[in-house]
């Protein structure tokens, strides 16, 4: 039995395409693996706090030296990291905002990328033997040579998750979602097919 962390980061609710696609993948997965356990996290509708001065001071202090107020500053980070470490697989829905990621998801990353919890002081990742699926939604196309220089989303996500040790990462990009109905529908068809294919082998 595996544990899946299913995370959505879209600020949209029922109109979110990334939410619909991650939900589809998890539902198909559970049909094949009904014994697996899913933990759900929604940082789009329920954002986590950004790091602050107390968080930084606490994260670079020895745990036995932490004053109560500094220990409290790490409580959200501890919860998120524990959730991350327990999971075997990750299914993340991450829309592209302004060529990159949302502020809400960046706040989540800042909470989980933490020395001595997810990486060591000599920059070795501690989150090992995991699988990650990232489903993105994008208004235009950023996968070909003429436009991929504008894609600050996938390169950043690969870098930050590989930094903490997650190297088995698959992307499904639903692109051209604002480029007219025909392009939109074609991209969604391709995303659905990619989801069906991946569920069978992931």
Residue-wise pLDDT tens digits, 109-157: 999 999 999 999 999 999 999 999 999 999 999 987 667 899 999 999 9
- Output Rg (C-alpha) for the chain, integer angstroms: 18
Average of per-residue pLDDT across 53-80: 90
Average of per-residue pLDDT across 154-178: 97
pLDDT of 37 reads 98
Query: CATH no. for residue 123?
Result: 3.40.50.360
Task: Point out the least confidently predicted range of 31-35, 60-64, 110-114, 122-126.
Answer: 60-64
3-state secondary structure of 122: coil
- From CA 134, how far away is CA 25, in angstroms rounded? 11
C-alpha dist (Å) from residue 163 to 8, 120, 135: 21, 10, 20
- From CA 32, how far away is CA 59, in angstroms rounded? 40
Q: Provide the CA 157 distance to its chain's centre, in angstroms.
A: 8
> Nearest to residue 29, comparing CAs of 37, 17, 41?
37
- The stretches of the chain forming alpha helices (DSSP H) are 17-32, 53-59, 68-73, 75-86, 103-112, 154-163, 181-201
Which residue range forms the structural domain that includes residue 76?
3-201
Contact 43, 79 (CB under 8 A): no
Q: Provide the CA 98 distance to its chain's centre, in angstroms.
A: 17
Q: Is 131 exposed, middle or buried (CB count within 10 Å of its CB: 0-12, 13-18, 19+)?
A: middle
Q: Which residues contact 90 (CB under 8 A, 6 or more apart)?
A: 4, 5, 7, 84, 130, 131, 132, 133, 166
Domain count, the chain: 1
Task: Point out the least confidently predicted range of 17-21, 56-60, 104-108, 111-115.
Answer: 56-60
**Residue 65 banded pLDDT, cuts 50, 70, 90:** confident
pLDDT of 68 reads 84
- From CA 30, how far away is CA 33, in angstroms rounded? 5
Contact 112, 80 (CB under 8 A): yes
């Amino acid at each position: 039995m595996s544990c899946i962390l299913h995370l959505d980061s879209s600020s949209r609710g029922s109109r979110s395409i990334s939410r619909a696609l991650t939900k589809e993948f998890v539902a198909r997965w559970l049909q094949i693996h009904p014994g697996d356990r899913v933990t759900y996290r929604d940082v789009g509708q329920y954002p986590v706090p950004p790091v602050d001065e107390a968080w930084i001071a606490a994260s670079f202090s020895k745990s036995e030296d932490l004053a109560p107020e500094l220990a409290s500053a790490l409580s959200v980070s501890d919860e998120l990291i524990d959730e991350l470490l327990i999971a075997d697989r990750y299914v993340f829905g991450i829309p592209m905002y302004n060529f990159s990621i949302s502020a809400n998801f960046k706040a989540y990353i800042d909470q989980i990328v933490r020395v001595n919890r997810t990486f060591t002081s000599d920059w070795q990742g501690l989150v090992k033997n995991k699988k990650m699926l990232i489903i993105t939604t994008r208004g235009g196309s950023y996968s070909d040579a003429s436009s991929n220089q504008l894609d600050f989303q996938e390169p950043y996500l690969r870098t930050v998750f590989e930094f903490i040790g997650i190297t088995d990462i698959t992307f499904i990009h639903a692109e051209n979602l604002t480029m007219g109905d025909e392009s939109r529908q074609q991209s969604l068809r391709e995303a659905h097919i990619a989801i069906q294919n991946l569920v069978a082998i992931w």
